[in-house]
Structure 1
Amino acid sequence: MTIDLNPDIQVRKDDQGRIRQLSHAQRQYHPVAADMLAAGVAAITGPRALAEQYLRDSAHLYDFAAEQTGNFAAAISAGPTDAGVELRFKEEKAVGSSVTVSYDQTLYGLPIWRAGMTVRVDGKQMGVTGSHNTAHYGVQARRPAADARYAPHRMHVDTVRQLLGLAGDAALTVSATRALIYQYRPADRLDSQLAAHDNPTPSTGVGGRHAFPQLPLPPVPAEIVADTHYVVTEVLFAYRVEGWGLLNWRAFVEPETGAVLYLRALVACARGRVFASTPVSAAGQVLGAGSPVAELDECATLIELTGLSPIDPQGRQELVGEYIKLVDLQVPATPFPAEKAPFAFEYQANTRNFAACSAYHHCDGVFRLIQGMGIDVASYFNNTDFPVQVDPHALDNEVNAQAPGNAMGNGLGRLVFGVAKQGTQFGIAADSRVVWHEFGHAVLWEHVDSPNFGFAHSPGDSLAAILHDPGRDNNLDRFETFPFMKVSADLSRRHDGDITQGWGWFGDEWDPQYGGEQVLSTTLFRVYQAAGGDSDDKAEQQFASRYVSYLILKGVGLLSFTTRDPDVYVAALTEADSTTDLFEGHPGGAFSKVFRWSFEQQGLYQPPGGDPTKPGAPPEVDVYIDDGRHGHYMPYLADHRGEAEIWSRTQQDGGTQPQTPAPGVKSFAYVRVRNRGLASATGVTVRGFQSRHAQAAVWPADWKPLGTSVLPLAAPIPPGGEAIVGPFPWTPANAGDSLMFMASAAGDRSNLEFVNAGPISNRRLVLLDNNIAERKF
């Protein structure tokens, strides 16, 4: 049965009105047996079979012809065939119980670059939670002659040198070639990171003596037409660039003219005993690489270096382990520390050995933290070779760090770090926030074959900010993303971007690189704040930090293609949450509305002609019970039980003034439901629950349904409108008993309807869903 759109399916369309994303988080898609039989499918045997039935059932929504969904199992062709436009299986990957199944869109049997379909599956319930469409429409491309001069099998080293404008003796190695389809866009011919590096500013944190890597390409000939699809030859090659060392590259070459239509160095960078966190002096000042060594040393912490390989035959312990291996990859050539018993890697903070120890500890710690969150490192990074090579002494006195991709451009190649301040030996890897920034590129290499999202540089700044905030030092500027680097090298990036000053999605300060990264980190940090980061309870801060970081990482793992639309990542974050059973005792399924709201507050979801200096539009339907925040999720409420529009009356009279209920005496509760959405809320129902005791803290154990537990509304609630629902008869057993109410509407279901099994604290349940409110009497 074909899928029909309904309010419980969230739809995202492009400017041409084509559907680019469907979210089924509120009601998963499950196939109908009769449709499976009609398609010749006896039973759903796994996520891939489910994804393919889903694609057949949704083809009419995505405007796919029947033949496009009829050849999923066909392999990618080595060269052009007679095949038309099709979807062909690309990969299946799992992150926890979430499974992503992706399909390349092909023409002539060749993949269209970064075009296809992604289907996200809840592997436990075997239901589809969402899909993302990057397919191209109206694709036409002339097939080149089989013996074209620059066909894949003819791309020898000398030919590649000539096409790239390099000298005949340039040291270049061709790693692989293949044919694919590419839509040529002049603005995308060169890396957008070039602009940031050509115009360095403190907020981008880039620049320096060595320009971003680029090659002297000849101009594109006049016969190459912009926005046209071409069969091209992809060339993956290795070539050394001054200041960057040996890099892997990707080039797309038109096989008859030899025009290079696309060129990328597979690299991303952030400018810029161990420091466990940002060093702060006894006087409360943030220290930098130029601060007195004695003060820096006082801030260093003696920690255990984990995962190290066994000692060598000489009885020395080297900084090589399960995840990380220190390797001298670039100038300057510097030996690494190796210690005999008692294996004490204790050095002054301004030495190269301190930098080496820091690089090992912080890089190793990133992978261990991920493993500890329940994400299997080996499967999440299945294209990355371990141990990852790390050079803590690279870049020849540059304030910089890099995360180059591997030879195939589908995983992390290595990590290299320069200095935190020029003219010093103080390694930038001593700042764990910088390491997390680089790691943001590592996860993107692995899952979208690029160091960048497309709408932002990476999630690295977000992870750095969120993971370092709990237990914050009040002497720090909380919203300075890299406080150590701000003092050391005047690198200033922030995660409190003011939308009115251009720091909104697609505002004046946004760009697809570092500007977008600061917009993204502002957006995601707000999610962390709303989820408990603004609590005074350090344990609640730590939970919010770890779970939001987990969802950031899991969400990246559910992507398959880069995109300019941040809402694709919003959907992935939502599904990452909904498919999490338990995270450190917390059930998944409660965070989706906060993610959507935070992106809205940062200017996403603008109506046509909207103002990017203002928040975007709310959802179509957004019913809520006001707790003093008018349907929003900030500020964080230390007590979530005091302001909600829930009241009790001693008589069933419909009055709106609260009256104090008496234990053992029947009372009557009312609740006001509002709608901040764009459309009328239909099918509204309200459910009520009473606490079993005055200290009720956990759902569902501490709650019981009211005698009249459900009341439906006869009429819709218009946009900006409200309705009073009641009475709900109840009898308090004790002073201090609470009532909890939940409102649901078509297209805006309360989290109580689908939060995953397992106890959840009342505080999180209420503060993360404006459909739910609690009032203590």
Structure 2
Amino acid sequence: MSIDLNSPCILFRKDSEDHLRQIIHWLEPYTLPDNAEEETPTYLATSYMQDASEVYESGELIDEMNVAPSVDLNKDFTQLRLLETVEKFNDLYFFYSQTYFGIPMWNQGMVVEVRQKPLEIRRSISSVDHNKISIPTPNPEALDNYSNITVSELESLLNVSEPNTAIINSSDNLCIYQYRSEKRIAGDLPEGFLPEGYDRETLPDVSSDIVDGNYYIVRQVYFSLGLHWRCFIEITTGSILYLEIFCACATGQVMKLDPKSQGATLLTPPLNVGTTPSTNPSNPALNQFRSNETLHRLDPPDPSGNQHLRGQYARVIDPVLDVNDPMLATPYPANALVPAATPPTEVSPFDFNYNVRTENFGAVNCYYQVDRFLDFIVSLGIQLKPTAQDPTAMLPNTPLPIRVDHRAFESSQNTPIGGGCVGNIGNTLALGIAFAKITLSTPPSPPLDEYYSAATSYQIMLHELSHVLLLDHLHTPGFTGFSHSFGDSLAAILNDINSVYAPPSTSSDRFVTFPWEDTNSGQQGKYNRRHDRDTQMSNGWYWGGGQDTGSISYNSEQLLSTTLFKAYRALGGDDTNPLRREFAARMICAVILKTVRYYAATSSYVFFVSSPPDAGSFCADLRYRDTYFVANELPIQVDGVRMGTSHKAITWAFEKLAAFNLPSPTPPNPPAPPTYDIYIDDGRNGEYNYITNFWNTTEIFNRHQNDGQTNQTHQNPSPNTTNYLFVRVKNRGQLNADNILVNGYRCTPGGGMVWPQDWILLNSNPVSGGSGLTLGNSRIVGPITWTPPTGQNHVCLLFTVEALGDVPHTWYPIPNTVIPDWHLVPSDNNIAQRNLNLLAGYLGSIDVAQAADASGFLVRNPYEDPIGVDLEIHLPQLLRNNGWSLSFDTSNHIDLEGFDREGVPVKITLSGGHSFTREDIQNTDDRDIVITMISEKGIIGGLTYRIDPDLRS
């Protein structure tokens, strides 16, 4: 069967030249055709490549797609050939490399992901070059050039000044490589750091015969020179077209959060360029920002009783104990990263307590920060290593513990070096992380307290650990193409939770990604990075804009951190409660990490990965991984809330930075919304800016007669008789909303409800809203006929709407999981809730008091843990001015057992005030009595009672 890109069950991405680059079979997988001759992954992948050839424009390339690449100079044209099949978890990744002369092209072709149980395809990507490619046929003997390259030959080509310092690890393989001058030198070597004295900026120019953008046959040479490297040598001219270094940059006192984020506004960050020793903060000034934390998972003390900073997740490298460790051993004849200092040890009571401006403090932070993040991953329900029960894992290949060197580099304030992720010989996994010691005074021989360790920064550590994760899955420390990494996003999100600049603060300092590192230098590409670039779209800060420079600088990384931080804010990061911010951070990070965990790369001689080609594709991957679960994979739950509920806020965040527009020199106004997006308005016009009052929609309304298409005035439910519910739905998607379906639910009025336990379906079949709803228009859908229970003239109502290509969170039923209303409703514009009841006000205060006194509600606990709930009251100005007060028949504070579904009933009394009239009510727009239920973890719900001057008692 052919692939229909018009299907609402498919997510797809095209590039600026209208070539298809990604398909995600989101709501409907691709499966074997009815006439399949085999039920095997290979047969399915082959069928898919044939059926997808029209939309991927690959029909002329697939004749020999299941033949392995091999040199054939007669094939002077491009083909797709099966380079490798990689098994990862329950998936098989079929890597079809684009070839010329039968030689694989570097990271070009198609990848098809086949899930084995059930046998289906959910994702495919293409990096095929559709342009006309012409490579001169070489002399056959030239194919052997540089296959036995010597050290002296290599050093001459590289312009290495010190002879015999390189070690050649491999020179066996050819590939086809497209030369790009701006990408010729790759890898994040810290500025000013010269491994073995080699300065890669002295690399000789390429031959004048080399044309930027053309393809060439190159010899891949892997070598060691202080660190591990690779280079591509053009076989006829000997020009180096590509050069990459495999580096991306007990109890104990630690820096859990940087001083500035803790409120150190009067201290000058010590990494600021130009800061003098006299203005550097002293140890007494800095020490107050340390915290005493337990160092978890340490190995037992040695036989002499010395506790080392070595444990299950982290190991601070010791030049004596680790002399044979891969991070230090050959092929490092004079390893640039041999630790310059031995990490500290302590005897009982094992108190690693040091001043901030010391190497020892840096060593303790190295251990603590790595252990802290890996423990965070485990706390999300993501394993570090695969097991027989669950083959998925975050670090399936990287050896644990992660090696950390607390002072591998040495620098000064004028050449600040943070750290680097060090790759192995093939750059297929991380050997460890190396950090810098910044000298705060002028060498030589500065005093021991004139140091500041980059390892004290959790932000820098998170950035480097993102490289470790990417290396494990993609065999490269960064995303290939659209962003340097996702490390800045982790740094921004996880360090916002307890920052003094988080809400209720409105300071713009909240959006400084590295607030304690180099913030005043003004130098792009170091630590002067921000995650509010959406405020500068006119200056090119948007996806496809002038600042979207891909993986060759940190600009696109800032766009990614801006985007994901915006999604974090929408999911609760903008709450004033740090526990709600922590929930949002954990949820968004779970989606990011799960997505990265499913990327794959070839292990063969040509680099080829399944990572996304652009920001819109990464958004689609996040959306897919958030919602898709398989039989042997338990859904990740954060604080008892399952995944599958974040992708809409994530999609909106990418939308706001123009990820769904074609590249443009000017920012689109407004940016293009998703293809399909039907919604019920809760006051945000279908968008996802954070709100805490999520129960006030007026787009759901009840009528006593079936007249909702002509009269949208809400009437309180009339018990024991037929009522009619209607809802207004709107479309903000690029395409028409078709096959619109609506469901309605009710529950006893209150707060702390969870889906699905507390909600009763009102309609046996979804109510149709028809098709053809165009962008920007709305439609009344209904009625849903129902009979309110006896004694309830106020109920809580919840409606969902779906259309082709856009379904609500409730569409993904997963047994034994729940979603609390406080997260379900504001994170999905397909869902709206009405806990808004009308109080009669026709006779003024007499009616209002009687109606309020007849009202009551339940307080439930949506959490597994016991909680306390405070009932916060807001009275409109009219009632306050006339001396009225609202009270409950219970305390304003209610304690609840874990996951209490029966709840505590509360009755309302409105009393003690002066009378007011109907006309007084009509003369004000402030008519809402709002009761908000606030737990120590954040708002869990509420009710609104709106005084209606036209409603009789």
TM-score by shorter chain over 0.5:
yes
Higher relative CO (CA 8 A, sep ≥ 6), structure 1 or 2? 1
Q: 1:377 to 1:408 in 2, by over 3 A?
A: same
Contact 1:305 1:361 in 2 (8 A): yes
CA drift of 1:179 comes to 2.7
| Equivalent position to 1:130, from 87, 108, 123 | 123
- Asked whether the equivalents of residues 607 and 617 of structure 1 are also in contact (C-alpha less than 8 Å), the reply is no
- Equivalent of 2:98 in 89, 101, 105: 105
**3-state SS of the aligned residue for 1:451?**
coil
**Partner deviation per Cα, 1:307-339 (whole Å, 9 max, x = no partner):** 333433433222223333323563772222122
- Given the superposition, is the C-alpha separation of residues 367 and 53 from structure 1 closer, same or farther in structure 2, using an over 3 Å criterion? farther
Question: Residue 427 of structure 1 corresponds to which residue in structure 2?
Answer: 453
Match runs of 1:11-22 below 5 Å: 11-22=12-23
Give distance in 2, aligned partners of 1:409 and 1:283.
40
Structure 2 residue aligned with 1:510, among 533, 548, 561?
A: 548
1:391 corresponds in structure 2 to: 405
1:754 is aligned, of 812, 819, 843, to 812
Measure how far apart 1:20 and its partner are.
Answer: 0.7
Question: How far apart in 1 are the matches of 2:214 and 2:519?
Answer: 48
Amino acid at match of 2:381: G
Residues 493 and 565 of structure 2 are in contact (CA less than 8 Å); yes or no, is this contact kept in structure 1?
A: yes
The answer to whether the 8 A contact 1:624-1:674 is kept is yes
User: Partner letter of residue 647 of structure 2?
Assistant: S
Query: How far off its partner does 1:642 sit?
Result: 0.4
* Residue of structure 2 equivalent to 1:412: 430
2 CA distance for matches of 1:539 and 1:168?
56
Q: 1:575 aligns with which of 624, 647, 658?
A: 624
Q: 3-state DSSP class of the match of 1:651?
A: coil
Residue 712 (structure 1) aligns with: 768
Instruction: Note the alpha carbon deviations across 1:497-533, whole angstroms, 9 max, x for none.
Output: 1123432223344332211111110100111111122
Q: 1:441 maps to what in 2?
A: 467
Q: Look up the match of 1:114.
A: 107
Q: How far off is 1:103 after superposition?
A: 4.1
Distance 1:419 1:23, change over 3 A: same
- Aligned-partner Cα distance in 1 for 2:162–2:259: 50
Mark the CA change 1:306 to 1:283 in structure 2 (over 3 Å): closer, same or farther.
closer
| 2:621 counterpart SS class | helix
1:674-705 per-position Cα deviation (integer Å, ceiling 9, x unaligned): 11122222222222222266447111222222
Counterpart CA distance in 1 for 2:644 and 2:827 is 10
RMSD: 3.1
Q: Deviations over 1:572-622 (max 9, x none)?
A: 211221224232333332222222211110122225757326452112332
Match of 2:881 in 1: none
Aligned to 1:623: 678
Q: Does 1:217 align with 2:203?
A: yes
How far apart are 1:626 and its partner, in Å? 0.9
Contact 1:286 1:487 in 2 (8 A): no
Q: 5+ unaligned residues in a row in structure 1: which ranges?
A: 198-205, 240-245
Distance 1:617 1:238, change over 3 A: same
Q: Determine whether 1:261 maps to 2:241.
A: yes
Percent of pairs identical after alignment?
Answer: 31
> Which letter does structure 2 place at the counterpart of 1:773?
A
Cα contact 1:107–1:181 (8 A) shared by 2: no
Q: Does the CA-based 8 Å contact 2:769-2:782 persist in structure 1?
A: no
Match of 1:552 in 2: 592
Aligned-partner Cα distance in 1 for 2:87–2:651 = 25
SS in 1 for 2:455: helix
Closer, same or farther in 2 for the Cα pair 1:321/1:715, shift >3 Å?
Answer: closer
Deviation of 1:218 after TM superposition, in Å, equals 2.7
| Corresponding position of 1:28 | 29
Q: Is the 8 A contact 2:106 2:175 kept in 1?
A: yes
| Aligned mates of 1:621, 1:255 — CA distance in 2 | 50
- Deviations along 1:233-253, one digit per CA (max 9) or x if unpaired, are 1111111xxxxxx22112111
Deviation of the 1:623 alpha carbon: 1.2
Q: What amino acid is aligned across from residue 658 of structure 2 in structure 1?
A: G
Task: Give the counterpart of 1:166 among 153, 160, 163.
Answer: 160
Closer, same or farther: CA 66–283 of 1 in aligned 2, 3 Å: closer
Q: Quote the Cα distance in structure 1 between the aligned partners of 2:20 and 2:262.
A: 57
Question: Which of 212, 217, 223 is matched with 1:237 structurally?
Answer: 223
Find the aligned partners of 2:73 and 2:397 in 1 and give their Cα distance. 29
TM-score, L = length of structure 1: 0.88
Which amino acid in the other structure matches residue 678 of structure 1?
Answer: Q
Per-residue deviation at 1:108? 4.6
SS of residue in 2 equivalent to 1:671 = strand
Q: 1:771 aligns with which of 827, 830, 833?
A: 830
Q: Output the CA distance in 2 between the equivalents of 1:575 and 1:518.
A: 23
1:124-523 correspondence runs (5 A): 126-137=119-130, 138-142=132-136, 144-148=138-142, 151=145, 153-167=147-161, 169-191=163-185, 214-239=200-225, 246-269=226-249, 273-279=253-259, 285=265, 287=267, 288-289=269-270, 290-327=280-317, 328=319, 330=337, 333-378=340-385, 379-398=393-412, 399-400=416-417, 401-419=419-437, 422-423=440-441, 424-453=450-479, 454-474=481-501, 477-485=509-517, 491-497=527-533, 498=535, 499-512=537-550, 513-523=553-563
C-alpha spacing 1:394/1:362, structure 2 compared with 1 (3 Å): same
Residues 341-371 of structure 1, C-alpha deviation per residue, up to 9 Å, x if partnerless? Answer: 3322211111110111111111232223223
User: How far apart are the structure 1 equivalents of 2:33 and 2:346?
Assistant: 64
CA distance in 2, matches of 1:281, 1:444: 28
Pairs aligned (count): 747
Larger-Rg structure = 2
Residues in 2 aligned to 1:650 and 1:213: alpha-carbon distance in whole angstroms? 81
Partners of 1:177 and 1:692 in 2: how far apart? Answer: 72
Secondary structure at the aligned position of 2:373 is classed as helix
Residues 577 and 590 in structure 1, CA contact (< 8 A), matched pair in contact too: yes
Change in 2 beyond 3 A, CA 1:100/1:299: farther
Structure 1 59/291 Cα, relative in aligned 2: closer, same or farther at 3 Å? Answer: same
Contact between 1:694 and 1:735, CA under 8 Å: does it hold in 2?
no
C-alpha contact 2:482 2:615 (8 A) present in aligned 1: yes
Where is the strand percentage greater, Structure 1 or Structure 2?
2
1:62 to 42, 50, 56: 56
The structure 1 residue matched to 2:701, chosen from 647, 659, 677, is 647
- Tell me if the contact between 2:65 and 2:79 (Cα under 8 Å) persists in the aligned partners: no
Query: Structure 1 residues 75, 714: closer, same or farther in 2, change over 3 A?
Result: closer
Residues 1:259 and 1:280: Cα distance change in structure 2 (over 3 Å):
closer
Letter of the structure 2 residue corresponding to residue 623 of structure 1: I
Matching residue's letter, 2:541: W
Q: Distance in 2 between matches of 1:69 and 1:771?
A: 45
State the one-letter code of the partner of 2:355. Answer: Q
Which amino acid letter does the alignment assign opposite residue 759 of structure 1?
A: V
Quick one: which amino acid aligns to residue 772 of structure 2?
Answer: P
How far the C-alpha of 1:113 sits from its partner, in A, is: 0.7
Kindly provide the amino acid, as one letter, of the partner of residue 636 in structure 2: L
More divergent stretch after superposition (212-221 vs 650-659)? 212-221
State the AA in 2 paired with 1:2. Answer: S
The structure-2 alpha-carbon separation of the partners of 1:774 and 1:65, relative to structure 1 and needing over 3 Å to count, comes to: same
Task: Please tell me the residue identity of whatever aligns with 1:606.
Answer: N
Please say if residues 381 and 411 of structure 1, whose CA atoms lie closer than 8 Å, have aligned partners that are also in contact: no
SS in 2 for 1:263: strand
Cα separation, partners in 2 of 1:61 and 1:280, compared to 1, 3 Å: closer
Assess if the C-alpha contact under 8 Å between 1:495 and 1:518 holds in 2: yes
CA distance in structure 2 between the partners assigned to 1:563 and 1:407 by the alignment = 25
CA contact (8 A) 2:738 2:803 kept: yes
Shifted more, 504-513 versus 345-354: the winner is 504-513
- Paired residues of 2:520 and 2:528 also in contact (CA < 8 A): no
Q: Which residue of 1 aligns with 2:649?
A: 594
**What CA distance in whole angstroms lies between the structure 2 residues aligned with 1:547 and 1:349?**
32
Say if 1:309 and 1:54 are closer, same or farther in 2 by CA, change over 3 A: farther
Larger deviation, residues 654-663 vs 456-465? 654-663
